[in-house]
Amino acid sequence: MARVPPVDPPYSDEVLASFRKLMPPGMEPLRLFRTLAHNPRVLRRIQRGGLLDPGSISTRLRELVILRTCARCRADYEWGVHAALFAGPAGFSERELAALAQAESPVDTFTADEDRLALRLADALHERARIDDALWRALTGAFDSAQLLELVTLAGLYHAVSFIVNVTGVEDEPWSLSPARAVAGGG
């Protein structure tokens, strides 16, 4: 049961405007956003900082960092939403998605150097809130400054989102994927 229940319609004009910017036409607002609607200012800030628009990195790299961060934070709600909406566009196999759902390092599941570096970055930031010089050298050999800033920012943003969903108890969307079922091979 949610500690902070989602706001139900009718929504204020301010909240409706945020939902329209956050959600594709015809899709109901996510429970996370409806929970944040208790504080329209926070909802607006989350809306502005999402980084789901086309950026300097691929959808695949973006989702690797997000899913890994959410798995490490045990933010099943957010992991499930991103897995359901973006695993296909990111090109994840079932095996890769299952690996991303686990707390153990999934690096060995991935063969592309960029994938492995993004996962190592997400793990290092989760564990220590910093990275060592060796990882930095490897990252700068694969990514430019804009990409590095985006990857680090994503990890930070999704730590914040993980805190929100875990503390408020946002309940799963009916269509989201379960990390436990992904590990078991059932999505």
Residue 121 above 80 pLDDT? Answer: yes
pLDDT of residue 134: 98
**Residues 156 and 120 both lie in one domain:** yes
Query: What region, left, alpha or beta, does residue 57 occupy, with left being phi > 0 and alpha being psi -120 to 50 degrees?
Result: beta
Q: Is residue 156 part of a domain?
A: yes
- Higher pLDDT: 43 or 180? It is 43
Q: How confident is the model at residue 186 (pLDDT cuts 50, 70, 90)?
A: low
CB neighbourhood size of 119 (10 A)? 23
Give me the number of domains the chain comprises. Answer: 2
Q: Is residue 54 part of a domain?
A: no
Backbone angles phi, psi at 99, to 5 degrees: -65, -35
Provide the token pair at 99: 């690996």
Domain span at residue 17? 13-48
Q: Is residue 7 part of a domain?
A: no
pLDDT of residue 53: 75
Percent of residues, the chain, with pLDDT higher than 70: 98
pLDDT of residue 72: 96
**Residues 102 and 124 both lie in one domain:** yes
Mean predicted confidence (pLDDT) in 132-145: 98
In contact, 18 and 12? CB cutoff 8 Å:
no
Lowest mean pLDDT among 39-53, 81-95, 142-156: 39-53
Tell me the CB-side half-sphere exposure of residue 115, using CA atoms within 13 A.
Answer: 20
Provide the token pair at 42: 């926070």
Percent of residues, the chain, with pLDDT higher than 90: 82
Q: Is residue 53 part of a domain?
A: no
**Residues 153 and 103 both lie in one domain:** yes
**Residues 81 and 108 both lie in one domain:** yes
Reference 117, options 96, 136, 93; nearest CA is: 136
Going along the chain, which residue ranges are E strands? Answer: none
Our CA angle for 79, 128, 113, nearest 5°, is 65
Tell me the CB-side half-sphere exposure of residue 165, using CA atoms within 13 A.
Answer: 25
Q: Find the distance separating the first CA and the last CA of the chain, reported in whole Å.
A: 23
Q: How confident is the model at residue 54 (pLDDT cuts 50, 70, 90)?
A: confident
CA distance 90 to 106: 16
In contact, 2 and 171? CB cutoff 8 Å:
yes
Q: CB-based contacts of 73: which residues, under 8 Å, 6+ apart? A: 126, 158, 159, 162, 163, 166
Residue 158 above 90 pLDDT? Answer: yes
Question: Could you tell me the CATH number of the domain that includes residue 171?
Answer: 1.20.1290.10
pLDDT of residue 47: 83
pLDDT of residue 19: 94
pLDDT of residue 187: 57
**Residues 69 and 90 both lie in one domain:** yes
Mean predicted confidence (pLDDT) in 161-175: 97
**Residues 129 and 153 both lie in one domain:** yes
Provide the token pair at 131: 């990275």
**Residues 89 and 22 both lie in one domain:** no
pTM of the predicted model as reported, rounded to 2 decimal places: 0.94
